[in-house]
Structure 1
Amino acid sequence: ISSGFLSLPADDWTELVKLVLSYDLKAKPEVGIQWGAGGDASIEELENAGTRDPKWLIDRAKRFLDAGAYMIMIESEGITENVKSWRTDVISSITSNLPQDKIMFEAADPEVFAYHIQNSGAHANLFIDHSQIVQLACLRKGIWGTDKTFGRIVTFQD
């Protein structure tokens, strides 16, 4: 359930989450800070449109989780995609205020998923393009990456 191109009141969006759950499906609303993201919008057009305060995203995410959402998908536009510089402050706000096991960041490029793995660990929830599965799996195991990541991603498992 995404509203990147739509203006959807929070009450209606919450009701959609509940409707999805009523069909025994998992609701995974996607929230972001960039209005009009996606398609062929340029960085300049998106900058001119402005971004929402990260608190807006966090408040919506909490509301959807309280309504029973399975996972909150985080749209990358305005954060790491179609921006002149990444908004790591937004990522930090999200990871500090929402449960790690309930958020999934869009990571459209290898540099972006490497950032998330470096900062949130090998088990960070990410949604990526299917063509990047091998790269991400190898990065999670520490057997792929740049000099910043190769051999430096570790986990402790029984």
Structure 2
Amino acid sequence: MDYKQTIIENAWGGLAVDYGLLHFQLATPIVTLVIIFIVYKSLNSLLFQPVLRTIDQREKFVQDRRDRVSVLTKEIETLGDQFDQKLHVARSKVAHVMNEAYEQSHKQREETILKQRDLLEKEARSAHERLISETEQTRATLQQLTEELSERTVGRLLN
């Protein structure tokens, strides 16, 4: 039976390796390569590819987020520039409106001053004319009183 056992053990032309509980019979190197290839493919499909796919997905996600951040950063810069331009335009409009309001108030003040000056000149002219007329009336009254006084004095002296 030893002869038959030896033939059965060496049927594939390999060697028998005994590791205690594990007993392998290694066949030819080609069968070993096939086993290695099968183990490689099974590990690749069950372990490495899912891990690599997860890593690739994570890298793609991170890259997409970086691209999105760069796009949003550019958009923020563009919006900031637009905001600055609009702010500059608004400030210039406010300055223009304030300038116009200042000029208009200055013009109204000048008009008010001119109206008051004209009114005061009219009042001064009328007061001057009144003064002249009162002076003439007073002069006439004084002239008349002086003449009356002279006549009385002459009348008394002659009497």
* TM-score, structure 2 as length reference: 0.13
Relative contact order (alpha carbons < 8 A, sep ≥ 6): 1 or 2 greater?
1
> Based on CA coordinates, which of the two structures has the bigger radius of gyration?
2
* TM-score, structure 1 as length reference: 0.13
